Chain A
Amino acid sequence: MRSPLDAPEGDWWSEEVNRRETIWLGITGGWAAVLFGWMAGWTQIGDQNPTGPTERISPERYQEKVTAYKEEAEDAEDGLIPPGEDVFIGAMRYNWDGLPAVLEAGKTYKFHIGSYDVQHGFSIRKGDTLSKQMSLQVLPEYEWVVEMEFDEPGTYHVVCNEFCGVGHRTMHGAFTVRE
């Protein structure tokens, strides 16, 4: 019986470990394997993964790309209708360039996200169900392409949730998903 304040003497390494403590060690190890396995498995079989190709790009060049995309897109009343499967979004203080947009339900889009200035947070939620929400980090100098497909029509709101300056709280955008 030892105090944690005393140096243990003798061969403490070989001392027996209580049976229940041993069982707990087993549970712990097994659980860690589950944590890893599930996460790794979800990248294969799951529908929600924060993954997609990333490219280095200068903020100026990215802004040009977004501008070119906007010119090509159709300007509908509720926002831009992307010409193809690509949707470009440029984060800038304190605005989402490329939003609002109008998307079709059930179609897979490639969201390109990048920033013209500082870091931002690309945070989407469904307007009438706030618990349906997710966030991705946006970095200047990086263009990240993440696929998304929306099944439920409605308005999706985008807020910035990375502090980007005093106007951070006003940085809002939206897109509509139609049948």
Chain B
Amino acid sequence: MLGLFDNDYDADGFRTCSVTGLNIHRSAENMVKLYGLTSVVALLVGGIFAFFVAMTRWEAIGLVSPNDFYKFTSIHAWNLLIFWMIFMEIAILYVGGPFVLGRKLALENVAKVAYGVMVAGALLVNYAIWTTEQPNQAPLLTSYVPLPSSADFYLGVVVFLVGALVAALPFLATIWKEKREKPDATLPLIAFGAFICSIVAAEAIVGGLITFVPTYFWRIGVIEHLDPAWYRQMYWIVGHGTQQINLLAMITVWYFMTHVVGGAVVASEKVSRTAFILYLFFINMGAAHHLMSDPGVSSAWRVWNTSYAAYGAVIASMIHAFAIPAGLEVGRRARNEGGGTFGWLWSAPWKDPGFSSTILSIIMFGFLGGITGVMMGQMQLNMTWHNTLATPGHFHATVVLGTTLAFMGLLYYVIRLLFGKDWVAKPLATIQPYLYGGAMGLVCLMMMYLGVLYGVPRRHPSVMDIPGTAFDFSAAKPLFAIFGVSAILAIVGGGLFLALALGALFLGDDYEGEAAPTGAGPIVAADGGGGTGETPAETDSAGDDAEAAETAEDDDDGGLAAHAFSMRGTFLLTLVFFVTFVVMYALNWYLLSQLWTIGG
């Protein structure tokens, strides 16, 4: 197809990537391209609808009718949150497994069949939403029972989920083969992250099938009754579960991209892997935070599940929030890329959109998405966030600023390294992540303010004029104006990404990879020779990392111990994060405490 699938492979079907050094097999590469391209199509569709949705909520424009608004928002949500993300995540699994391990993709034909099933499901969902007629209602993301959506919608969801489950099998089979051949070897960190991601994904999808299969039968009349509280609890296994897939895939991409583009190393295998394991055990309970303001579950259940999630998953995320920048700091210090406290950051390839997307994603996910997620996850604070515009504000910070930006960064490199095309219009490519991330950051902030400070509800096409009452939210007009303008800029930024991606694919020059595309040189800090096993001194006072590195030796054959390098830059950054966290937490509780008395 237009020369997109024609790299040169050796007789066994392998080629070596000149930049990452990975041994890539044709079977895996073709599937990564196929799933990746498809995800970009979903991004385009969802992005077009983002424009209509945002321009309707900005009532100065008021683009579409109330009826269409719900339909358009549903299409926006399903194409972006589900199809863009999950097609991409399957591609990421195939990178994290076969690429990283230097293997063929096992069961390649299964991957093809799964692809077909997923596409069929996605098309059916879109068709069903588009043709929604009374008494059916647009499903939005949640299709809460007993509000009926079209039967085809539930069927499409089931088909898509089955496809996604099957698509994970070739990945798992690849890991299994690797393990059978090398039973004693540890998986590389990226492959390990992808593996945990696949397990969490399988749990989410199975939960989704347990929810949507009965719901389909309910809709076509085979099952008479579904308990709405049961539906909510089950639905959120997949509804939140897919967010866990997004999170794990995003973090895996963070490790990958900071390494490939920024020269990061692993700060501590033990710590990073433990954090992944924590997700495996605890993150599912995160789904409970969707039921914080629900009548159907007891308060003890709610407190237990959120605290459990706070202990497990929040800790895990905070660990990665340190480990990833620390890996970058150490990797760059060891390569002599800047001394001092932040020299390693200043010297980083900020003009490289793959790098800047990744770093922006890490920062904005943490500050805007992560912190607010914890706020909403506190049972009492949830009352001030629940179903207000602040809720989409929070999750756009996670899935757009976090995941979408990270995936865009990855795609910049997929274009170079898999499709072998260089970027076009490089100055535009340089600004794209900043434009998209910056504008979207404002969009998220405005939605949060509108929700928490003005109580503006989500899923409303008009709040400036509520039929049948003089009451309205016109006090919030100025914030809506900032929201609207930022949304336009964000959509321009997203459109620019698509234009640059397609431009590179079809018009780009062939990319001649260099081993260090963006200035992360080889590790130059010298190997100190015969390991004595002593712990090298911390290096802050010396401040001279090259010197420190000479004394930093390790028992293993790696020669250099990551832990011996200074992580003071990262430490300061995470402290800033922590202080912000505490301040936001206090402010939210203060706001809540101003309310009337609620609950016995």
Q: Hey, which bits of chain A sit against chain B, CB under 8 A?
A: 1-13, 15-21, 23-25, 27-29, 31-33, 35-36, 38-40, 42-43, 46-52, 54, 108, 113, 117-119, 121, 123, 125, 127, 130-144, 146-152, 157, 159-166, 168-170, 172, 174
Contacts and interface: CB of A to CB of B under 8 A. Distances in A.
Given A108-B597, A127-B471, A134-B384, 7 more contacts: A5-B100, A5-B190, A16-B561, A24-B318, A39-B307, A39-B380, A119-B147
7 contacts: A1-B330, A18-B268, A21-B268, A35-B314, A47-B597, A49-B299, A140-B228
B457 interface: yes
B314 A51 contact: no
Given A1-B523, A21-B268, A32-B315, A142 B229 contact: yes
B95 to A, nearest CB: 10
A4 B228 contact: no
B599 interface: yes
A149 to B, nearest CB: 4
Contacts of A29: 315
Interface of B: 20-22, 66-67, 70, 100, 134, 137-138, 140, 144, 146-147, 185-190, 227-229, 232, 255-256, 259, 264-271, 292-296, 299, 303, 306-307, 310-311, 314-315, 318-319, 322-323, 326-327, 330-331, 334, 374, 378-380, 382-384, 386-388, 452-455, 457-463, 466-469, 471, 473, 475-476, 523, 535, 538, 554-565, 567-568, 570-571, 574, 578, 581, 585, 589, 591-600
A129 B134 CA distance: 38
A20 B314 CA distance: 19
Contacts of B22: 5
What 6 pairs across the A-B complex have the smallest Cβ distances?
A: A133-B455, A49-B599, A144-B295, A161-B457, A10-B556, A36-B307
A43 B299 contact: yes
Contact of A163 (B147, B330, B467, B561): B147
Contacts of A8: 186, 188-189, 266, 269
A159 B598 contact: no
A79 B103 CA distance: 73
Given A49-B299, A164-B147, A170 B187 contact: no
A50 B380 contact: yes
Given A54-B295, A137-B293, A146-B598, A166 B70 contact: yes
A162 B331 CA distance: 48
B496 to A, nearest CB: 30
Contact of B469 (A36, A125, A161, A172): A172
Given A5-B22, A39-B303, A163-B70, A52 B383 contact: no
A27 B321 CA distance: 13
B593 A46 contact: yes
Given A1-B523, A50-B293, A118 B146 contact: yes
A45 B77 CA distance: 39
B598 A118 contact: no
B311 A32 contact: yes
A50 B598 contact: yes
A169 B462 contact: yes
A48 B599 contact: yes
A48 B597 contact: yes
A28 B22 CA distance: 35
Contacts of A24: 318-319, 322, 571, 574
Given A2-B266, A7-B187, A50 B326 contact: no
Contacts of A54: 295-296
Given A7-B188, A39-B307, A1 B70 contact: no
B296 A31 contact: no
Given A2-B562, A170-B466, A142 B310 contact: no
A109 to B, nearest CB: 10
Contacts of B267: 18, 21
Contacts of A15: 268-270, 554, 556, 561, 563
Contact of A119 (B144, B471, B591): B144
